[in-house]
Structures are given as C-alpha cells and as structure tokens.
Structure 1
Amino acid sequence: MESHTGFRAHPEERPAVIGFKACDMCRKKKIRCEPTSQGCRPCTKYGTRCHFTPIATKKKPRRPAGFRYIAQLEKRLLGVEALLGDRSLEKPNMPDTDLRKEQTTLTATSHTVALNVDSDLSPFRDEITDHLWLYPALEPHSIPLPARQQLPTKAFALELIEEAFVNYNRFLPLFDEEDFLKEFQLKYSISCPRDAGWWACLNVVLSIAHRLRAIRALDPTQEHIRAYGYVQNALSVVSELSVSDRSLSAVQALAGMACILQDTPNPEPAAMLVAAALRLAQAMNLHRECSSLGLTESQAEKRRRVFWKVYILDKDISLRTGRPFGQDDDDMDVGLPSNTSLEAGNLDLFNCRIGLALVQGQVYKQLYSVRAERQTATQRAIAAQELSSLLSYWKSSAQLELPEDSATISGLQLSGEMIHKVVLRLTYMHCLAMIDRHLPPTAQSSTIQELNQSKPLLSPSSLCVAESRKAIRLVGAVPQGDCACVWMLLQAFFAAASSILYNLTQQPMSPNAISDLDLVEPFLRLLETLARDPSIASQYEELVRMRRTCNSLNLEAKEAVQLFSLRPVASLT
C-alpha cells in the first residue's frame, strides 16, 4: 500500500498522534468519509485519488484576550513590589537629614512642574476664565511637623476642648458637646485608641483650639506647630474613615479636618476631604429627612447639623475653586437645624450661613458650570440679575453689621462670635463679586427696586464697590503674623481690592477716588509682606498672580485718577 503521500493509504497506517477526520476530497465536498482497504468509499466510487492531509489533534490551550497586557501588568506589579520591599528595608535606616533632603527634592520637583503651567489671571478681562484658579500641587510647611503629635494630659486636653466648643462649635455646631465630653471621659488615652472616628474627632477639636489660640497670640508659631501636629494625627486614619467606617463620627472628623485645612493656600486637601465626607454622609442618608424615622429628635438634630456643616463646606469650596459641588439641592430634603440646645443668636448665625451656601450653589450652577458656559452672555446676565436679587434678599435678613471705623477695626479681636461674623461678611463679599462679573455695567435689578422703593437704588456694580469698601477695611482686623488666618480670607480681600481698583480705572472722576486708593493700600502691603518671604513667594503661584494683578490695577487706577484729580496722588511706584 502507498503511504500518505501516495495514491492510497490504509486507515491503519495513519500515525497515532495524527488524526484524520476526512480525506481531502470528502472534506472539500463536505460529505461523510468512510475509510476502506482501497481508500475511502466515496473516492472509490467516483474513481478519484484519495489523499489524507495530516492534522494535529493536540492543540495548545487558547490564550485569553489581552493576555499580553495582563503579562505586562504582572511584570510591572512584581517590579513595584520589589521596589517597595527595598524601600521598606532602607527607610528605617535613613538618617533624618537624608529624609528631609528627599522630601525637599520631591517638593521642589512638584512645584517646578506646577509653576510651568502659568497663565495671567485677570478677573476683569473677558478672554480669561476667571473662575478657574491654579494651585500648587503640594503645600510645603516652613516649620517641620512631627509624624505624630503626642496628646496632652487629660486636664489640659479638657481645657482645650472647652475652649474649642465655646469659641467655635457653638456657632458652627459640628459636634455635640454633651456626647463628646462623655466619650472623652470614657475613651481618652494618650495612646492611640482603637476607635478611628473618635481618635480623629479628638485631634480635630484639639487642633481647632490651638488655631483659635494662634489668632490671639503675638507669636503664633508654636500654636501652629501643635495645631497641625494634631491634624497630622487625624490624617493618619483618613483611609480607614473613608473606606471602612460608616459612622457619624467619621463624617464629623473628615469635615473637621477640611475646616482646618481651609487655612492653607492649597485648597486641594480640603476639597478632597469634603468630597469624602459628603459621600459618606450620603451613604448614611443624612441628606434625607425620611432617614430620621425611628430616631429620637435629638439624634435627628445631630444628623442635620453634621449634614449642613458638610453642605456649607461643599458649596464654599466649589465656588472658590470653580469646580462642581457634590450635593445637588434637588436631591435632598433634610430640614434646617432647629434644636433649642443652641442659643437663639448662634442658631440664627448657623442658619444664615446655610442660606448663603444655598446662594453660592446657585451662583456656581447658573454662572460657572458647564451648562452656564454654553449659554449666551445675555442669558448669564439675566441669571446674574436674579442671583443678585436673591443675595440682596439674603443680606436683608442676615446680621452682617460690623464696625466700619478703621481704628475700631484695628482693635477688633477675632475671637468667639466676631470671627464667624467676619468670615460670613467676607464670604458674602466673594459671592457678590462672582455675581457682579456677569452683570452689565449699568444693569439694575427690578426686584431690588421693588424691595427698596423708598431708598435710592445702587446699581449692582456700585453695590459691589460699596460692599468691597466695607470688606477691605477688615484687613486691619487680621492678626499680624497669622498666615493661616490670611489664607482663609485672602480670596475675599483680593476680590474686594480688585473691584475697587477696577472701578477706579473705569470711573477715575469718582468723588471717592482718593479714599479708595488709600483703602486698598493695607492689602497691597500685606501682599508685599507675604511676597518678601521666600518660603512663600517661591512656592505659592496664586499669591504671585494676586500680587501682579493688584499692582497692575493699582498702577492703572493711579494714572487714571491723577489725570482727573486736582489733588496730587501718591507715587505711582
């Protein structure tokens, strides 16, 4: 018989590892191949040459889709694990000086990358998207912070807690004082407790107390070191609070850390913490009133206070950074705080701050969101007029009256209720400035006209300038040397100074021109003082842009006023 390469092949002559399903002709005709001693039956019948092509029966397993990408990821993972293993062995033996040098190098590299992204922000140029702000990627501290701050003695810790509740929590109630003191008596220990939520809340309260002391201190350096040391303690358990802890204390701790980090030039950490606190609050249904069913009124009230505190932070950071907020007003139905455990004045101040946050959310949504950018300038101007009316209505019910005399403001003590009123007024000023940028120069709100028929009406631009004059005077109340307080209020001061100076470039014949130039001088000196500090000016690009914008506007304003004023103006330099 012929081999498999010949005319015929007997089936028994086929190799064991090679299988034949059909001969070539039967496979081509797609008919059944029946092997015989003379070949297959169909080929014998039709007299055709019967030939079998060998086909391997044993095939390699099919590889899954994307196996090459998976192999690359596995290789990279092994490399990262090996690198982390090497570093974990080397870090404990690394001297403090080398570690400090490494951190300095990483910080300098990050800021070099951030500073390369430079754009001249001018809030009064149409081609600039003034609601977007660039911030450095990291915030290096000029003073070394310990990895873990040792907790004080129980007696001293109680003193700090009482101070924080008297001067802060009673006006913006994030914690319940009675519950917190009970937890303090049961769980306080110098060592790190097992309850991450309680540990973080305790450190947040201690940090707030030292921040309040720093405002009153002549030299706040040591108070800042202790305050940020306690923040470091709380930040060490952020991942546990965000991922595995679903409790009210976790939301309180995240929101408290965000409040403290608002006093830094970089808003990114605070924004991230607020987002985490808000998502956790939504997971616990704090934004729904119906979720309070089955709870006592006291428990429901605690949940309302915590939610509204997070809501205030969410809307404030959104408008300051030009980024979307996390809580939509259409997806919440929680009631306002109404518990009688708060003093009437403090409850009104808290509810007033909530009302301003509601307006801030609408300002971003109607003027600075993606949907707003797709609208015409006329449509945004109409929305701005409505928002201006809404903000004026809010102001008429708010208690924002502060002393306007410069001597009185200079001696103003930012403590207790006063600091919250100052922050409230400056937050209102910033919100008003963000609305005013979209108003026509001579627009007037008919709604305000109806509300104030018996009084002379100021146009929105004039109203913004008038409020800016009141706000910029508060620079004298900022404690000298307290940079944390400055960073918290700097944007509002910048908005007020820019509004005044830009108004002078447009209306240099104003009877208040000379006095307005004098008003902004303290703020300009403050910017110069901050810029002279190399540890600040070289790191915080936002400060450099503020200083450049204000100096440019101040020069233009002085030149314009000097042309139309009979009185000599101070040196243009």
Structure 2
Amino acid sequence: MESQTDFRAQPNLGENERPVVVRACDMCRKKKIRCEPTTQGCSQCTKYGTRCHFTPIATKRKPRRPAGFKYIAQLEERISGLEALLGDRSLGKPPVTDISWRKEHTTPAAFLDTAVDLSTLGGYISDRMWPHPAPELRPATLPARQPLPTKAVALELIEEMFSNYNRFLPLFDEDDFLREFHLKYESSNPRDAGWWACLNVVLSIAHRLRSIHAADPTKDHILAFGHVQNALSVVSELNVSERSLSAVQALAGMACILQGTPDPAPAAMLVAAALRLAQAMNLHRECSSPGLTESEAEKRRRVFWKVYILDKDISLRTGRPFGQDDDEMDVRLPSNASLEEGNLDLFNRRIGLALVQGQVYKQLYSVRASRQTATQRAIAAQELSSLLSYWKSSAQLELPEDSIILSGLPLSGEMIHKVVLRLTYIHCLTMIDRHLPPTAQSSSDQQLSRFEPASLSPPGSLCVAESRKAIRLVEAIPQGDCSCVWMLLHAFFAAASSMLHNLTQNPMSPDAISDLDLVKPFLRLLETLARDPSTLSQSEELVRMRRTCNSLNLEAKEAVELFSSRFPAAFV
C-alpha cells in the first residue's frame, strides 16, 4: 500500500501547485464511504479483498484574492479620479465632466463621496409646447468652489430667504444665524463644516427664490447650483465629525434643495443622514436634555419636525421605508411665539399631513402590508381616508384655483407653500384611494401605482374631484422655478392618472371632454421634459410617468370617442 501522505510518486509541483493530502483511497472515494487506513490497507479494502491504492492529486491554485476585491478595485479607481480632479482644481483648471464615469458611479453609495449632477437647478425651456421652466444641461464649467458674495450682498440674500422660505418652514433660527453671520462671514471656509454648509444652503435657496421672479433666471440658477455644491463638499465631515444642530440643519437644507431634481435618491440619503444625526442628539425626545432653555428646546423641535416632514414625504414618493417611527418619539409640536400665528399653523398642518403620509406607507405599502389580504388593506385604507378627511377639514385647505391661474401674477411665498401643501394632500389621497374597495369608489389601475396594488377599479368620486382641482395648478407653477416641476411631478401624475383612468371606466361622464382638456398641459409638460436626453436618462420616474399617461390618455380618448359616436346626444 502506498502511504496516504507519501508524495514521492507525485510529479514535480509547479510554483503555484500545492500537494493535496488524499484522505481516502480510490475505492472508498469512489463509493463515498469513510476510509480508515491501516498498516495493510484501509479497513474497507481489507474487508472486501480489493487493492487499496491512494492517488495523490496536485492542484494548481491561484493566489487567493481578498474578500470584496472588486469593490476595492472600484474604490481605487474612484480615488484616482478624485485625485486627478483635485489636482486640476489646485492648478486652477475647471473640472472636466466625464459622463461615462459619472453614469457608472452615480449610485446611492457613491453619492456622498462624489459630486452630484444638479443640472436641474438651472436652465429654461424654450420649447413652445410648455412655457414653464424645466431642466436643461447645467453650465459646462464652474469654479472649483463658488466664491462667496460680498457681505452686503450676502446679508441681502439671507434676509430674503428668512422673509420667504424660512418664514413658513422654519429650518434656521434667524437671530442665531445672523449672529453667526456677523461673527464668521469674513473667515467662512469649509473647515467649519456646519457653518459653511448652512451658509451656502441659505444662499442657494435665496438665489432660487430670486430666480422665480427674474426675467432671466440663468444667473441665479448658476449661483444657486454653485452654493449647493459648496455645501455638498463637506457632507462627509457633517456625517462623521459633526454632532451639532447646525449639521442637522445643513443636511436637511441640502435635501430640500435636491428634492427639486429628477432623481430623489440623493435627497433621500441626505434626509436619512440628517435623521440619524438628529436621533443621535435625541432631538426626537422631549426630555432628552433637562438643562436646555425653552428657547433652545423649541429650536430643536422645529429642526426635528422639518426633518420628519422630509422623511415621510420622500418615503411615500419613492416607496421606501421611512427612518423615524412614530412609536419611537415623544417630541412636542412647535409652539414658539416668535413665529407668526398663521405661519405656525401652516407648519403644524404640514406636520399633521406628514403623520398621515407615514401611516399610509406603513399600513398600505410596507412589506408588512403586502403580506396582508386585500380586504385588510381596504379596511386600513378606509380608516386612513377618514383620517385624511379630518386633517383636510381642520387644515382649511381650499384654494381659489381659478383666481390663482387667471390672475397671471407671481405667487406669494405663502401661496406657494399652500399650493405645495395642497398637491401633497392630493398625492396622499390617491395613494389611499387605490386600496379602497369598489363599494367605496376605490383604487386605480395597477399601472397607476408604483407600489402595484392588487385591486382594479375606478378612482372614487372624491379623488377625481380633487384631482380636477389639482391638475389646474400645473398652470400656476412659478415661472423660473424649475425645482417645483420635479418636486410636484408625482402629485400632478397622481391627479392626471386618476382622471384618465376614470375616463376609461366612465366615458359617459358629462365632464369627459373637459377632463381630457384639463390633462393636456401636464401631458405637454411630460413631453417637454422628455425632449432633454440627459433629463430622461436621470429620471426613471419620468419614463414611467410618460409611458403610463400616454397609454391612459390614448385609452381614455378611444373610450370617449366610442361612447360619443354611439350616444352623440349625451355630449350636446
């Protein structure tokens, strides 16, 4: 018998070859039975009187690669690209946009480490189909860092931002911010990450507000883009080394800006980062720091609720889980007397709607909800419909849509926020309506919902009536504010798709012709957005909305024309 560990009979081994100890003889290995070597052969071969022979095998093994070597290679490639980019910037060269590299690496995981394409913050559509602003390619070259304006200009921009946006959705405290501004503005730099990011967020929002009323918004769009890029350059520092209220404010502010882009993923990641940081600071708890003054506690409440609103809104928009569970918080609603009563009411109404949005996702679109029967979801939808109806009655959300559109005047800051609130309500209503049973005038077609509800029935009369009001607000989108297009696109899609699906099921409706006319501006908007290849490639949602609406519009027209040809008197 040849020894089990005798390798003398083996051929010469190469450099990368290793002898393998054969632990079973040929016969036992063939029979796949346990081999027990003895001095005269293994026990099995001795028992059956067969020749016991061990055949050693030499294998050629490649050097072992570390776990995750592909990911490490990708990181090395990205680092090389960033080093080259930083080298160009240090020499004063404008960064070169490598489109292929950007498409390959602009994933959620790479977002916080690479520059974000914010092309939709600038541009103006010249297409005759749609007179409103929409994204185009961003300026080809921008400085490595957007220079800050003079102190006088910066102060003017800050005052505009606080008198408009922050007045209705308070993210920053005006007194604290102005105190920091006068102390630090001349020495502002990225090393003070929290202040640097907050300052550039405020300047970016201010330029965006200016662009709404500007005859040519291009300059303000470019400046807004540059300032948000400044803020994004310190995201990693805010996540890792900062644990301050200003860091939460900065992350939430950047998320607000990036909501108005074709891709909601970067905004969702910033909201998640802001929420985790807020939880680490116990902003979600009312009695987390007994030593705080009431003024400081109120500031923390306002910041937390702003992040909470963003969290719930993006969750229902993207169909992904939210980060803050209502059972894991006990913070009170804002009640600071420094806010005007009407503005505080608007902020609290938005918080109330966010609470409903969270329950809609949790009870109708979460993984747990998908495991329930359609009947169970229908019961939950009825309860949520009642809850949303109660919220609407208490919020006094009626808007004079006709006067808003026909006036032709720019909307005031308060009216813009009311329009956004109204459209957010419509989106929430349609998401509930799709799960109501047929007896309650329920849900839309499966293709209308990105979450694919199981039921199939026309939308309810309330949903259709509210959708008619909402779709008219397409004409009220502020001229120059292309971010509003992307932020409200889901709400307009929900309203238009509900109306069109209702026509396919009820072509005899006396409002059929007028409903087809009402959705035309939104359909033209989708076609105009789709004309820009870069925009279309960035937004899978736009592709889906356009395909669904075109299909539904064709079906609705065919249904209405067929019915009108059979019963012409019904349309007289």
Shorter chain as denominator, the TM-score bin is 0.7 to 0.9
Pair 389,406 (structure 1): closer, same or farther in 2 beyond 3 Å: same
Q: In the TM superposition, what is the alpha-carbon distance from 1:244 to its structure 2 partner?
A: 1.0
Q: Quote the Cα distance in structure 2 between the aligned partners of 1:75 and 1:404.
A: 55
Whichever residue aligns with residue 92 of structure 1, its letter is G
Equivalent residue runs for 1:533-552 within 5 Å: 533-552=532-551
Tell me how far apart the structure 2 counterparts of residues 240 and 362 of structure 1 sit (CA, whole Å).
33
Q: AA paired with 1:105?
A: S
Q: Residue 514 of structure 1 contacts residue 569 of structure 1 at CA under 8 Å; is this kept in 2?
A: no
Structure 2 equivalent of residue 105 of structure 1: 100
* Residues 1:409 and 1:292: Cα distance change in structure 2 (over 3 Å): farther
Q: Which amino acid is 1:315 matched to? A: K
Find the residue that maps to 1:291 and give its secondary structure.
coil
Structure 2 counterpart of 1:474? 473
Name the stretch that deviates more: 408-417 or 434-443.
408-417
Cα distance in structure 2, aligned partners of 1:543 and 1:79: 29
Identity of aligned residues (%): 77
Larger Rg over CA atoms:
1
Q: Does the aligned pair in 2 maintain the 1:433–1:464 contact within 8 Å? A: yes
Show CA shifts across 1:55-81 (max 9, x none). xxxxxxxxxxxxx86867899979977
Classify 1:98/1:555 alpha carbon distance in 2 versus 1 (closer, same or farther; 3 Å).
Answer: same
C-alpha deviation, 1:228, in angstroms: 1.4
* Residues 444-502 of structure 1: CA deviation (Å, up to 9, x unaligned): 79xxxxxxxxxxxxx97111111101100000011345432210111100100000000
Q: Deviations over 1:340-396 (max 9, x none)?
A: 100000000000000000000000000000100000000000000000000000000
Contact between 1:409 and 1:476, CA under 8 Å: does it hold in 2? no
Deviates more, 1:461-470 or 1:187-196: 187-196
Q: Distance in 1 between matches of 2:202 and 2:459?
A: 41
1:140 to partner: Cα distance? 6.2
State the Cα deviation string for residues 141-166 of structure 1 (Å, max 9, x = none). 21134431110000000000010011
Deviation track 1:118-161 (CA, whole Å, cap 9, x = no partner) reads xxxxxxxxxxxxxxxxxxx9746211344311100000000000
In structure 1, what residue type is equivalent to 2:464? V
Distance in 1, matches of 2:381 and 2:71, equals 52
**Distance change in 2, residues 1:407/1:372 (3 Å):** closer
2:132 match: none
Judge conservation of contact 1:171–1:417 (CA < 8 Å) in 2.
Answer: yes
Cα deviation, residue 105, structure 1 = 2.1
What whole-Å deviation, never above 9, does each CA across 1:312-331 have from its counterpart, x for those lacking one?
00000001011111100001
Residues 384 and 79 of structure 1: is their aligned pair in 2 closer, same or farther, counting only changes over 3 Å? closer
Residue of structure 1 equivalent to 2:415 = 418
Decide whether the 8 Å contact of 1:216 with 1:414 is kept in 2.
no
CA shift in 2, pair 1:89/1:554, >3 Å: closer
Where does residue 427 of structure 2 map in the other structure? 430
Judging changes above 3 Å, is the alpha-carbon distance between structure 1 residues 306 and 226 closer, same or farther for their aligned structure 2 residues? same
Q: Which digits, 9 at most, give the CA deviation of each residue in 1:181-225, with x for residues without a partner?
A: 111111112651642111111111011101111222233222111
Q: 1:568: Cα distance to partner?
A: 11
Partner of 1:510: 509
Q: CA deviation at 1:526?
A: 1.1
Paired position in structure 1 for 2:531: 532
1:327 equivalent to 2:324? Answer yes
What stretches of structure 1 of length at least 5 have no aligned partner? 1-67, 115-136, 446-458
Match 2:87 to one of 75, 89, 92: 92
**Does the 8 Å contact 2:190/2:234 carry over to 1?**
no
Task: Give the whole-Å Cα distance in 2 for the aligned partners of 1:335 and 1:150.
Answer: 40
Moved over 4 A (4+): 68-87, 93-99, 108-111, 137-140, 566-570
1:499-525 CA-to-partner distances (Å, cap 9, x unmatched) read 000000011111111111111111111
**Match of residue 308 from structure 1:** 305
| TM-score between both structures, scaled by the size of structure 1 | 0.75
Q: What one-letter code is carried by the residue in structure 2 that aligns with 1:488? A: M
In 2, Cα distance between equivalents of 1:532 and 1:569: 38
**Superposition deviation, residue 408 in structure 1:** 3.5
The residue aligned with 2:156 is 159
CA contact (8 A) 2:88 2:94 kept: no
Contact 2:235 2:251 in 1 (8 A): yes
* C-alpha distance 70-99 of structure 1, shift in aligned 2 (>3 A): same
Once the two structures are superposed, residues 76-116 of structure 1 have per-residue CA deviations (whole angstroms, 9 ceiling, x without a partner) of 97997799579747963699999635x122235569x99xx
1-structure distance, mates of 2:64, 2:353: 51
**SS at 1:508 equivalent:** coil
**Structure-2 residue corresponding to 1:483:** 482
> Retained in 1: the 8 A contact 2:243–2:281?
yes
Report the Cα offset of residue 411 of structure 1: 1.6
Question: After superposition, where does 1:58-457 map in structure 2 within 5 Å?
Answer: 88=83, 92=87, 100=96, 103-109=98-104, 139=117, 141=119, 142-144=137-139, 145-189=142-186, 191-192=188-189, 194-405=191-402, 408-409=405-406, 411-443=408-440
CA distance in structure 2 between the partners assigned to 1:161 and 1:83 by the alignment:
36
Amino acid at match of 1:391: L
- Aligned counterparts of 1:540 and 1:329: Cα–Cα separation in 2: 31
- Consecutive unaligned residues in structure 2, runs of 5 or more: 1-62, 109-114, 120-136, 443-457
In the alignment, is the contact (CA less than 8 A) between 2:171 and 2:303 conserved in 1?
A: yes
Read off the aligned partner of 1:437 and give its amino acid letter: R
Contact 1:412–1:477 (8 Å) recurs in 2: no
1:384–1:435: 8 Å Cα contact kept in structure 2? yes
Paired with 1:327 and 1:248, the residues of 2 have a C-alpha distance of 18
Give the whole-Å Cα distance in 2 for the aligned partners of 1:78 and 1:475.
47
Instruction: Kindly indicate whether the alpha-carbon contact (under 8 Å) linking 2:356 and 2:388 is maintained by their aligned counterparts in 1.
Output: yes
Q: How many residues align?
A: 466
Task: Tell me the secondary structure at the aligned position of residue 189 of structure 1.
Answer: helix
Q: Please tell me whether the aligned partners of residues 508 and 561 of structure 1 are also in contact (alpha carbons under 8 angstroms).
A: yes
